[in-house]
Structure 1
Amino acid sequence: MGTTSLQGRRIVITGAGRGIGLATAKELHTRGATVIIGDVDERSALAAAKSIGSNAEGYAVDVSGYDSFAAFHQKATANGIIDVLINNAGIMPIGRFLDQSADTHRRAVQINVLGAINGMHLTLPAMVARGSGHIINVASTAGKTPVPGGLTYCGTKSAVIAITETARVEYKGSGIDFTCVMPSFTNTELIAGTTATKLIPVVEPEDVARAIADAIERPKPDVFVPRIVGPLLWPQPLLGRRIRDLFNHSLGADRSFLDFDPKARSGYDKRIGK
């Protein structure tokens, strides 16, 4: 498979006011792309675009609302087509299922799952019409294995993985690439107050950003960050629940989202409305 140049490509990234999204916008810009940054916090989106400089735009978008995403999409396409859509926006409320409000669970589903669906529904028609394009959905390794304390989060990321894979099959031969990116613990505010699993290193947003940029240049369906988590996760369905649960326990994955510091997460929880 050949290499796709990012020079002059117009790439939309949601949730790019900070964290993985912002790091990805910066990485893609250094490789020659024009980046269109969307974030629910308009000030963050504008500041991110300003920090990047030329060939960067920033707009407000609430990905959970179709009308809001449609308005953002209209602005993003005002100066050209969208070559790549990166559905990155998401929230990670953690804690015991019944300790979290029904509204918190609902918001996680609306942002993490409907956000990706809204973006795809608005962006795919033009890609299908011209026979080219790339959709990248940012999920999580938590979508591949059960993590107590992350019941809804794991569920939403599993949904994103399934959505991406099903779209890949449904649109096979259309000229459109679909990629699912599955980072492990990433050093952003999402993991504040948590303890990382053993053996698997915490990665930086820039690591995920480089992996995303590489996947655009050389399209592939699945991207794990760090790469080591892929071989650790692939065999799990074949091992059976008992062995899988013992393995996850040995890594400490069964306590990562339960034994957290609420005070350390208070700032993030407040921002996401938990």
Structure 2
Amino acid sequence: MEFDGQVALVTGSTAGIGREAARLLALGGATVVVTGRDAARGAETVTAIEAEGGRAKFIAADMADLGSVRELAEAVGEVDVLVNNAGIFPFASTAEQDVETFGQLFDVNVRAPFFLTAALLPAMAARGRGSVVNVSSSITVMPVAGGAVYAATKAALEALTRTWAVEFRGTGVRVNAIAPGATETERALALNPDTVASVGRQSPIGRAASAREIAEAIVFLASPRSSYVHGEILFADGGRTLG
């Protein structure tokens, strides 16, 4: 299997896209580190992975807390695959955006992946191999009213993706990002199922993605199958960004 002997860390992997990515990486042979704030959901995810014959463990982490992010990096040690998936997306109009939520969005969506990557990527480079996949969003090029700050955080993550690709050139480490469109995750459907379905119908494919479909693309970017893909943003949005 393509991830045999490798350790994969997937942030925000107790539900949605992150959970599916963790499952697929484990099915590919990786030992997966599942992270999130909810220990019960983390245990359920580990149990589900093990039931499929995979290997996984759970480490609690709060990506809004920089100390927790650093503790996670220390607890995990060396990894071969890092998927920066954890993110939050409270929407508000620009005029109504409060400072506290603004800060939380940047803390979770930008600061956490920045310092987690900063802690783990040098060891990858020293070993001459590794893959980082950042989870962005198609909102960076398909603006949505009320999503100004969320879009800004994801645009920052895409900028980091390109910069890290250049900064760690020649080390054997690849850094890419995926930008999903409308996706049927538990959290998105709980917030506004009609919007998810409506945005999905606007794509040439004509529907929203499943979490599994986005996870498949993440695993592709993490795998040797994409060995010559570096510094790219892969839009998995059913072609909606085509216009």
Q: Compute the TM-score of the two structures, normalised by the length of structure 1.
A: 0.77
The one-letter code of the counterpart of 1:41 is D
Can you give the 5+ residue segments of structure 2 that lack an aligned partner in the other structure?
none
Distance 1:125 1:227 in 2: 35
Give the alignment partner of residue 225 of structure 1, picking from 225, 231, 236. Answer: 236
Secondary structure class of the residue paired with 2:57? strand
Residue 27 of structure 2 corresponds to 30
The alpha carbon displacement at 1:40 in A equals 2.1
Equivalent AA in structure 1 for residue 234 of structure 2 = V
Letter in 1 for 2:59: Y
* Percent identity over paired residues: 30
User: Equivalent residue for 1:141?
Assistant: 138
In 1, the alpha carbon distance for the partners of 2:170 and 2:157 equals 21
Gaps of 5+ in 1: 233-246, 248-274
Secondary structure of the residue aligned to 2:59 is strand
Name which of 159, 162, 167 aligns with 2:164.
167
Cα gap change, 1:227 to 1:214, in 2 (>3 Å): farther
RMSD, matched Cα: 1.8
Distance 1:163 1:227 in 2: 24
Equivalent residues in 2 for 1:21-100, closer than 5 Å: 21-53=18-50, 54-77=54-77, 81-100=78-97
Equivalences for residues 7-26 of structure 1 within 5 A: 7-26=4-23
Deviations along 1:62-108, whole A, 9 cap, x unmatched?
A: 1233321121122222xxx3001100000011132333422111101
What is the DSSP-based 3-state SS (H/G/I as helix, E as strand, rest coil) of the residue aligned with 1:136? Answer: strand
The separation in 2 between residues aligned to 1:126 and 1:36, in whole angstroms, is: 17
Q: CA deviation at 1:7?
A: 1.9
2:220 alignment partner AA: D
1:212-268 Cα offsets, whole Å, 9 max, x none, are 1112222332322135245x1xxxxxxxxxxxxxx6xxxxxxxxxxxxxxxxxxxxx
Residue matched to 1:114 = 111
Q: Is the 8 Å Cα contact of residues 14 and 42 (structure 2) preserved in structure 1?
A: yes
Q: 1:209 is aligned with what amino acid?
A: A
1:209 equivalent in structure 2: 215
| Alpha-carbon distance between aligned partners in 1 of 2:119 and 2:41, rounded to the nearest angstrom | 23
Residue 47 of structure 1 deviates from its aligned partner by 2.3
Q: Give the TM-score taking structure 2 as reference length.
A: 0.86
Query: Does the 8 Å contact 2:209/2:238 carry over to 1?
Result: no
Give the 3-state SS of the residue equivalent to 1:118 in structure 2. Answer: helix
Q: Secondary structure at the match of 1:17?
A: coil
After superposition, the C-alpha distances for 1:181-219 in whole angstroms (9 at most, x for unaligned) are 100011111353152324313101000111111122223
For residue 46 of structure 1, report the CA deviation from its aligned partner. Answer: 2.4
2:153 corresponds in structure 1 to 156
1:255 aligned partner: none
- Give the greater-gyration-radius structure (CA): 1
Amino acid at match of 1:183: P
Instruction: Give the number of aligned pairs.
Output: 226
